[in-house]
Structure 1
Amino acid sequence: MGEVIGQLLPTAVGVALSPLPIVGVILMLLSAKARVNGPAFLIGWLAGLAIVVGLIVAFVDPDRLNKDGGDPTTLDGLLHLVLGILLLLLAVKQWKSRPNKGEEAKMPSWMAKMQDASPIFAVGMGAFLSGLNPKNLIFDIAAGAAIAAGSLTSSQQIVAAL
Protein backbone atom coordinates (compact mmCIF):
# COMPACT_ATOMS: atom_id res chain seq x y z
CA MET A 1 0.00 0.00 0.00
CA GLY A 2 2.92 2.33 0.68
CA GLU A 3 4.02 2.03 -2.94
CA VAL A 4 0.56 3.08 -4.16
CA ILE A 5 0.54 6.08 -1.81
CA GLY A 6 3.97 7.03 -3.19
CA GLN A 7 2.60 6.87 -6.73
CA LEU A 8 -0.37 9.03 -5.72
CA LEU A 9 1.63 11.86 -4.16
CA PRO A 10 2.53 13.68 -7.42
CA THR A 11 -1.06 13.55 -8.64
CA ALA A 12 -2.38 14.68 -5.25
CA VAL A 13 -0.01 17.66 -5.28
CA GLY A 14 -1.05 18.49 -8.86
CA VAL A 15 -4.73 18.51 -7.91
CA ALA A 16 -4.18 20.39 -4.65
CA LEU A 17 -2.12 23.15 -6.28
CA SER A 18 -4.49 23.73 -9.17
CA PRO A 19 -4.95 27.52 -9.35
CA LEU A 20 -8.59 27.61 -10.50
CA PRO A 21 -10.07 26.00 -7.39
CA ILE A 22 -7.82 28.09 -5.15
CA VAL A 23 -9.11 31.28 -6.78
CA GLY A 24 -12.67 29.96 -6.60
CA VAL A 25 -12.36 29.20 -2.89
CA ILE A 26 -10.88 32.63 -2.18
CA LEU A 27 -13.73 34.34 -4.06
CA MET A 28 -16.27 32.20 -2.24
CA LEU A 29 -14.76 32.86 1.18
CA LEU A 30 -14.91 36.60 0.52
CA SER A 31 -18.60 36.42 -0.37
CA ALA A 32 -21.55 37.09 1.95
CA LYS A 33 -22.52 33.38 1.99
CA ALA A 34 -19.06 32.06 2.83
CA ARG A 35 -20.18 30.14 5.92
CA VAL A 36 -22.60 28.03 3.85
CA ASN A 37 -20.83 27.93 0.48
CA GLY A 38 -17.40 26.93 1.80
CA PRO A 39 -18.53 23.55 3.14
CA ALA A 40 -20.81 23.10 0.10
CA PHE A 41 -17.82 23.61 -2.22
CA LEU A 42 -15.79 21.10 -0.18
CA ILE A 43 -18.58 18.51 -0.42
CA GLY A 44 -18.73 19.00 -4.19
CA TRP A 45 -14.94 18.83 -4.48
CA LEU A 46 -14.73 15.55 -2.58
CA ALA A 47 -17.72 14.10 -4.45
CA GLY A 48 -16.18 14.97 -7.84
CA LEU A 49 -12.89 13.32 -6.90
CA ALA A 50 -14.64 10.27 -5.43
CA ILE A 51 -16.81 9.74 -8.50
CA VAL A 52 -14.00 9.93 -11.05
CA VAL A 53 -11.46 7.93 -9.04
CA GLY A 54 -14.13 5.44 -7.97
CA LEU A 55 -15.25 4.84 -11.56
CA ILE A 56 -11.67 4.25 -12.70
CA VAL A 57 -10.96 1.87 -9.81
CA ALA A 58 -14.24 0.02 -10.39
CA PHE A 59 -13.86 -0.45 -14.14
CA VAL A 60 -10.10 -0.85 -14.67
CA ASP A 61 -8.94 -4.45 -14.47
CA PRO A 62 -5.81 -4.56 -12.28
CA ASP A 63 -4.60 -7.67 -14.11
CA ARG A 64 -4.33 -5.64 -17.33
CA LEU A 65 -2.13 -3.07 -15.59
CA ASN A 66 0.19 -5.48 -13.73
CA LYS A 67 2.29 -8.42 -14.84
CA ASP A 68 2.52 -11.53 -12.67
CA GLY A 69 5.43 -10.08 -10.71
CA GLY A 70 3.57 -6.84 -10.01
CA ASP A 71 5.55 -4.90 -12.60
CA PRO A 72 3.62 -2.45 -14.79
CA THR A 73 2.44 -3.71 -18.17
CA THR A 74 2.69 -1.99 -21.51
CA LEU A 75 -0.91 -0.81 -21.08
CA ASP A 76 0.01 0.94 -17.83
CA GLY A 77 2.97 2.63 -19.51
CA LEU A 78 0.83 3.69 -22.47
CA LEU A 79 -1.83 5.08 -20.15
CA HIS A 80 0.73 7.25 -18.37
CA LEU A 81 2.26 8.32 -21.69
CA VAL A 82 -1.13 9.32 -23.13
CA LEU A 83 -2.05 11.24 -19.97
CA GLY A 84 1.29 13.06 -20.10
CA ILE A 85 0.78 13.97 -23.76
CA LEU A 86 -2.72 15.24 -22.95
CA LEU A 87 -1.26 17.47 -20.24
CA LEU A 88 1.32 18.85 -22.68
CA LEU A 89 -1.40 19.54 -25.27
CA LEU A 90 -3.48 21.29 -22.63
CA ALA A 91 -0.47 23.43 -21.69
CA VAL A 92 0.12 24.39 -25.34
CA LYS A 93 -3.58 25.28 -25.77
CA GLN A 94 -3.53 27.48 -22.67
CA TRP A 95 -0.28 29.13 -23.74
CA LYS A 96 -1.67 29.98 -27.18
CA SER A 97 -4.93 31.35 -25.77
CA ARG A 98 -3.26 33.72 -23.30
CA PRO A 99 -3.93 37.45 -23.74
CA ASN A 100 -1.54 39.42 -25.91
CA LYS A 101 0.95 41.79 -24.33
CA GLY A 102 -0.89 44.79 -22.91
CA GLU A 103 -4.30 43.11 -22.99
CA GLU A 104 -6.16 42.38 -19.80
CA ALA A 105 -7.38 38.84 -19.28
CA LYS A 106 -11.15 38.37 -19.07
CA MET A 107 -12.49 36.93 -15.84
CA PRO A 108 -14.40 33.69 -16.44
CA SER A 109 -18.14 33.98 -15.83
CA TRP A 110 -18.10 31.31 -13.12
CA MET A 111 -15.70 33.42 -11.07
CA ALA A 112 -18.07 36.38 -11.20
CA LYS A 113 -20.92 34.13 -10.05
CA MET A 114 -18.96 32.93 -7.00
CA GLN A 115 -19.71 36.16 -5.12
CA ASP A 116 -23.47 35.54 -5.16
CA ALA A 117 -23.45 31.76 -5.50
CA SER A 118 -26.05 29.50 -3.96
CA PRO A 119 -24.94 26.41 -2.02
CA ILE A 120 -26.12 24.23 -4.93
CA PHE A 121 -23.91 26.22 -7.32
CA ALA A 122 -21.00 25.86 -4.88
CA VAL A 123 -21.45 22.06 -4.75
CA GLY A 124 -21.61 21.94 -8.56
CA MET A 125 -18.51 24.09 -8.98
CA GLY A 126 -16.60 21.98 -6.47
CA ALA A 127 -17.54 18.80 -8.33
CA PHE A 128 -16.75 20.34 -11.72
CA LEU A 129 -13.39 21.79 -10.71
CA SER A 130 -12.21 18.57 -9.07
CA GLY A 131 -13.68 15.96 -11.39
CA LEU A 132 -14.30 17.50 -14.79
CA ASN A 133 -11.67 20.21 -15.08
CA PRO A 134 -9.43 18.79 -17.86
CA LYS A 135 -6.19 19.04 -15.88
CA ASN A 136 -7.67 17.55 -12.74
CA LEU A 137 -9.50 14.88 -14.74
CA ILE A 138 -6.17 13.64 -16.10
CA PHE A 139 -4.69 13.57 -12.59
CA ASP A 140 -7.81 11.79 -11.28
CA ILE A 141 -7.56 9.13 -13.99
CA ALA A 142 -3.88 8.59 -13.18
CA ALA A 143 -4.70 8.29 -9.47
CA GLY A 144 -7.52 5.83 -10.14
CA ALA A 145 -5.27 3.73 -12.37
CA ALA A 146 -2.53 3.69 -9.72
CA ILE A 147 -5.02 2.55 -7.09
CA ALA A 148 -6.49 -0.09 -9.41
CA ALA A 149 -3.04 -1.39 -10.34
CA GLY A 150 -2.02 -1.67 -6.69
CA SER A 151 -3.90 -4.93 -6.09
CA LEU A 152 -5.30 -3.53 -2.85
CA THR A 153 -8.28 -4.67 -0.84
CA SER A 154 -11.42 -2.53 -0.99
CA SER A 155 -10.69 -0.86 2.34
CA GLN A 156 -7.10 -0.14 1.27
CA GLN A 157 -8.39 1.36 -1.99
CA ILE A 158 -10.66 3.70 -0.03
CA VAL A 159 -7.81 4.75 2.25
CA ALA A 160 -5.53 5.33 -0.76
CA ALA A 161 -8.20 7.41 -2.49
CA LEU A 162 -8.60 9.61 0.58
Structure 2
Amino acid sequence: MSFLEVIPLAIVMIAGPQILSPIFLATSDQWRANSTAYVLGASLSISLVVGIAYLFGNSFGASGGLLGASAKQLLYVLVLVFLLYAAMDTYRKRNVSKPPAWMGKLTNATPPLSLKLGFLLLGVFPTDIVTSVSVGTYLAANGDPVTDAAGFVLLTLFLLAVPSLSVFLLEERAEAALPQVRNWMNENSWVISEAVILLFVVLTLQNLFG
Protein backbone atom coordinates (compact mmCIF):
# COMPACT_ATOMS: atom_id res chain seq x y z
CA MET A 1 0.00 0.00 0.00
CA SER A 2 1.25 3.47 -0.85
CA PHE A 3 1.80 6.14 1.77
CA LEU A 4 -1.08 8.20 0.36
CA GLU A 5 -3.40 5.22 0.83
CA VAL A 6 -2.17 4.62 4.37
CA ILE A 7 -2.70 8.17 5.68
CA PRO A 8 -6.52 8.28 5.47
CA LEU A 9 -6.82 4.73 6.82
CA ALA A 10 -4.74 5.65 9.85
CA ILE A 11 -6.90 8.74 10.42
CA VAL A 12 -10.03 6.59 10.40
CA MET A 13 -8.39 4.27 12.94
CA ILE A 14 -7.75 7.02 15.47
CA ALA A 15 -10.89 9.13 15.00
CA GLY A 16 -13.02 9.11 18.16
CA PRO A 17 -12.20 7.63 21.58
CA GLN A 18 -9.08 6.05 20.10
CA ILE A 19 -7.22 9.38 19.99
CA LEU A 20 -9.13 11.04 22.84
CA SER A 21 -7.94 8.34 25.25
CA PRO A 22 -4.20 8.93 24.69
CA ILE A 23 -4.81 12.66 25.12
CA PHE A 24 -6.21 11.93 28.58
CA LEU A 25 -3.40 9.47 29.29
CA ALA A 26 -0.78 12.02 28.25
CA THR A 27 -1.86 14.18 31.20
CA SER A 28 -2.17 11.31 33.70
CA ASP A 29 0.10 10.76 36.70
CA GLN A 30 2.01 7.92 35.02
CA TRP A 31 1.77 9.39 31.53
CA ARG A 32 4.94 7.80 30.15
CA ALA A 33 4.07 4.26 31.22
CA ASN A 34 0.37 4.68 30.40
CA SER A 35 0.99 6.07 26.93
CA THR A 36 3.52 3.35 26.12
CA ALA A 37 1.17 0.63 27.33
CA TYR A 38 -1.71 2.07 25.30
CA VAL A 39 0.30 2.10 22.08
CA LEU A 40 1.59 -1.42 22.78
CA GLY A 41 -1.95 -2.72 23.28
CA ALA A 42 -3.04 -1.03 20.06
CA SER A 43 -0.15 -2.54 18.11
CA LEU A 44 -1.08 -6.04 19.26
CA SER A 45 -4.75 -5.78 18.36
CA ILE A 46 -4.28 -4.03 15.00
CA SER A 47 -1.66 -6.54 13.89
CA LEU A 48 -3.83 -9.43 15.02
CA VAL A 49 -6.94 -8.30 13.14
CA VAL A 50 -5.01 -7.44 9.97
CA GLY A 51 -3.22 -10.81 10.09
CA ILE A 52 -6.42 -12.82 10.55
CA ALA A 53 -8.16 -10.91 7.75
CA TYR A 54 -5.18 -11.50 5.47
CA LEU A 55 -5.14 -15.23 6.19
CA PHE A 56 -8.88 -15.40 5.60
CA GLY A 57 -8.51 -13.54 2.32
CA ASN A 58 -5.69 -15.82 1.17
CA SER A 59 -7.66 -18.95 2.01
CA PHE A 60 -10.35 -17.79 -0.40
CA GLY A 61 -8.26 -15.99 -2.94
CA ALA A 62 -5.21 -18.13 -3.55
CA SER A 63 -4.99 -20.17 -6.72
CA GLY A 64 -6.75 -23.42 -6.05
CA GLY A 65 -8.51 -21.85 -3.10
CA LEU A 66 -12.12 -22.13 -2.20
CA LEU A 67 -13.48 -19.60 -4.68
CA GLY A 68 -11.20 -19.79 -7.72
CA ALA A 69 -10.90 -16.88 -10.16
CA SER A 70 -13.80 -14.84 -8.73
CA ALA A 71 -12.15 -14.55 -5.31
CA LYS A 72 -10.65 -11.10 -5.95
CA GLN A 73 -14.05 -9.64 -6.86
CA LEU A 74 -15.60 -11.23 -3.78
CA LEU A 75 -12.91 -9.76 -1.56
CA TYR A 76 -13.47 -6.31 -3.04
CA VAL A 77 -17.17 -6.71 -2.28
CA LEU A 78 -16.25 -7.70 1.28
CA VAL A 79 -14.08 -4.60 1.64
CA LEU A 80 -16.94 -2.47 0.28
CA VAL A 81 -19.39 -3.96 2.77
CA PHE A 82 -17.01 -3.23 5.63
CA LEU A 83 -16.55 0.37 4.48
CA LEU A 84 -20.28 0.98 4.09
CA TYR A 85 -20.88 -0.42 7.56
CA ALA A 86 -18.22 1.91 8.95
CA ALA A 87 -19.87 4.87 7.22
CA MET A 88 -23.29 4.03 8.64
CA ASP A 89 -21.91 3.38 12.12
CA THR A 90 -20.01 6.68 12.10
CA TYR A 91 -23.09 8.61 10.92
CA ARG A 92 -25.31 6.92 13.50
CA LYS A 93 -22.99 8.08 16.30
CA ARG A 94 -22.41 11.57 14.93
CA ASN A 95 -24.42 13.31 17.67
CA VAL A 96 -22.46 11.76 20.51
CA SER A 97 -20.62 14.97 21.34
CA LYS A 98 -19.48 14.06 24.84
CA PRO A 99 -16.84 11.46 25.62
CA PRO A 100 -17.89 8.44 27.70
CA ALA A 101 -17.91 8.91 31.46
CA TRP A 102 -15.08 6.38 31.92
CA MET A 103 -12.77 8.52 29.81
CA GLY A 104 -12.65 11.22 32.47
CA LYS A 105 -11.11 8.69 34.85
CA LEU A 106 -8.10 8.07 32.64
CA THR A 107 -6.09 10.74 34.41
CA ASN A 108 -5.73 8.18 37.23
CA ALA A 109 -5.19 5.21 34.92
CA THR A 110 -2.56 2.51 35.42
CA PRO A 111 -0.36 0.87 32.76
CA PRO A 112 -2.29 -2.46 32.80
CA LEU A 113 -5.56 -0.59 32.25
CA SER A 114 -3.97 1.48 29.47
CA LEU A 115 -2.72 -1.71 27.78
CA LYS A 116 -6.19 -3.26 27.84
CA LEU A 117 -7.78 -0.02 26.64
CA GLY A 118 -5.42 0.25 23.67
CA PHE A 119 -6.04 -3.37 22.74
CA LEU A 120 -9.82 -3.10 22.97
CA LEU A 121 -10.35 0.32 21.36
CA LEU A 122 -8.11 -0.43 18.36
CA GLY A 123 -9.04 -4.11 18.13
CA VAL A 124 -12.76 -4.48 18.79
CA PHE A 125 -14.12 -0.98 18.13
CA PRO A 126 -16.41 -1.39 15.07
CA THR A 127 -14.80 1.18 12.77
CA ASP A 128 -11.33 -0.09 13.59
CA ILE A 129 -12.26 -3.71 12.97
CA VAL A 130 -13.71 -2.65 9.63
CA THR A 131 -10.59 -0.69 8.67
CA SER A 132 -8.10 -3.37 9.76
CA VAL A 133 -10.10 -6.11 8.03
CA SER A 134 -10.29 -3.95 4.91
CA VAL A 135 -6.50 -3.60 4.90
CA GLY A 136 -5.93 -7.33 5.35
CA THR A 137 -8.43 -8.40 2.70
CA TYR A 138 -7.26 -5.68 0.30
CA LEU A 139 -3.68 -6.97 0.45
CA ALA A 140 -4.87 -10.55 0.02
CA ALA A 141 -7.05 -9.61 -2.94
CA ASN A 142 -4.10 -7.96 -4.70
CA GLY A 143 -1.65 -10.74 -3.89
CA ASP A 144 0.53 -8.43 -1.80
CA PRO A 145 2.50 -9.66 1.24
CA VAL A 146 1.05 -8.98 4.67
CA THR A 147 4.20 -7.01 5.51
CA ASP A 148 2.82 -4.26 3.25
CA ALA A 149 0.47 -3.45 6.14
CA ALA A 150 3.46 -2.32 8.23
CA GLY A 151 3.15 1.29 7.07
CA PHE A 152 -0.53 1.37 8.03
CA VAL A 153 0.17 -0.09 11.48
CA LEU A 154 3.19 2.11 12.20
CA LEU A 155 1.52 5.34 11.10
CA THR A 156 -1.54 4.56 13.23
CA LEU A 157 0.68 3.90 16.25
CA PHE A 158 2.62 7.11 15.62
CA LEU A 159 -0.57 9.17 15.56
CA LEU A 160 -1.67 7.54 18.83
CA ALA A 161 1.69 8.46 20.34
CA VAL A 162 1.54 12.11 19.25
CA PRO A 163 -0.16 13.36 22.49
CA SER A 164 2.52 11.85 24.73
CA LEU A 165 5.31 12.94 22.36
CA SER A 166 3.98 16.50 22.44
CA VAL A 167 4.02 16.49 26.24
CA PHE A 168 7.57 15.14 26.20
CA LEU A 169 8.75 17.82 23.77
CA LEU A 170 6.60 20.83 24.69
CA GLU A 171 5.73 20.10 28.35
CA GLU A 172 3.41 22.80 29.80
CA ARG A 173 2.44 24.20 26.41
CA ALA A 174 1.24 20.79 25.26
CA GLU A 175 -0.67 20.19 28.50
CA ALA A 176 -2.53 23.47 27.94
CA ALA A 177 -3.25 22.78 24.26
CA LEU A 178 -4.30 19.13 24.47
CA PRO A 179 -7.76 19.77 26.02
CA GLN A 180 -8.60 22.18 23.18
CA VAL A 181 -7.44 19.65 20.58
CA ARG A 182 -9.46 16.97 22.35
CA ASN A 183 -12.65 19.04 22.22
CA TRP A 184 -12.22 19.93 18.54
CA MET A 185 -11.58 16.32 17.52
CA ASN A 186 -14.49 15.09 19.59
CA GLU A 187 -16.85 17.46 17.77
CA ASN A 188 -15.51 16.91 14.23
CA SER A 189 -14.10 13.38 14.13
CA TRP A 190 -17.20 11.90 12.48
CA VAL A 191 -16.98 14.30 9.54
CA ILE A 192 -13.33 13.43 8.97
CA SER A 193 -14.07 9.72 9.19
CA GLU A 194 -16.98 9.92 6.74
CA ALA A 195 -14.90 11.80 4.18
CA VAL A 196 -12.08 9.26 4.34
CA ILE A 197 -14.44 6.28 4.21
CA LEU A 198 -16.19 7.79 1.17
CA LEU A 199 -12.83 8.11 -0.57
CA PHE A 200 -12.09 4.44 -0.04
CA VAL A 201 -15.58 3.42 -1.15
CA VAL A 202 -14.88 5.17 -4.47
CA LEU A 203 -11.46 3.51 -4.80
CA THR A 204 -12.91 0.09 -4.02
CA LEU A 205 -15.69 0.54 -6.58
CA GLN A 206 -13.08 1.46 -9.18
CA ASN A 207 -11.14 -1.71 -8.40
CA LEU A 208 -14.32 -3.79 -8.47
CA PHE A 209 -15.64 -2.55 -11.81
CA GLY A 210 -12.45 -1.24 -13.40
TM-score (norm 2): 0.60
Q: Is the 8 A contact 2:50 2:132 kept in 1?
A: yes
Distance 1:107 1:14 in 2: 17
Q: 1:138 Cα shift?
A: 0.7
Unmatched segments (≥5 aa) in structure 2: 152-210
Which residue does the alignment assign to 2:119? 127
Which residue does the alignment assign to 2:43? 46
- 1:27-65 CA distance string (max 9 Å, x none): 00101110211110110010110111111112222337x
Unmatched segments (≥5 aa) in structure 1: 100-104
- Give the 3-state SS of the residue equivalent to 1:151 in structure 2: coil
Distance 1:159 1:80 in 2: 17
Q: 1:5 Cα shift?
A: 3.5
Which residue does the alignment assign to 2:84? 85
Q: 1:139 Cα shift?
A: 0.5
Q: Residue type of the partner of 1:21? A: Q
Report how many residues are paired: 146
Which residue does the alignment assign to 1:116? 108
TM-score (norm 1): 0.75
Deviates more, 1:44-53 or 1:75-84: 75-84
Following TM superposition, the consecutive aligned residue runs of length 4 or more in structure 1 with deviations greater than 6 angstroms are none
Q: Is the 8 A contact 2:38 2:116 kept in 1?
A: yes
Q: How does 1:1-162 map to 2 (within 5 A)?
A: 4-5=1-2, 8-9=5-6, 10-16=8-14, 18-61=15-58, 62-63=61-62, 73-95=72-94, 98=95, 106-152=98-144, 156-162=145-151
- Percent of aligned positions that are identical: 23
Provide the alpha-carbon RMSD of the alignment.
Answer: 2.8
Which residue does the alignment assign to 1:102? none
Deviates more, 1:134-143 or 1:105-114: 105-114
Distance 1:81 1:5 in 2: 19
Q: 1:128 Cα shift?
A: 1.2
- Give the 3-state SS of the residue equivalent to 2:93 in structure 1: helix
The verdict on how the C-alpha distance between 1:77 and 1:151 changes in structure 2, with shifts beyond 3 A counting, is closer
Tell me which of the two structures has the higher relative contact order, counting C-alpha pairs closer than 8 angstroms and 6 or more residues apart. Answer: 1
Deviates more, 1:49-58 or 1:5-14: 5-14
Q: Residue type of the partner of 1:50? A: S
The verdict on how the C-alpha distance between 1:13 and 1:140 changes in structure 2, with shifts beyond 3 A counting, is same
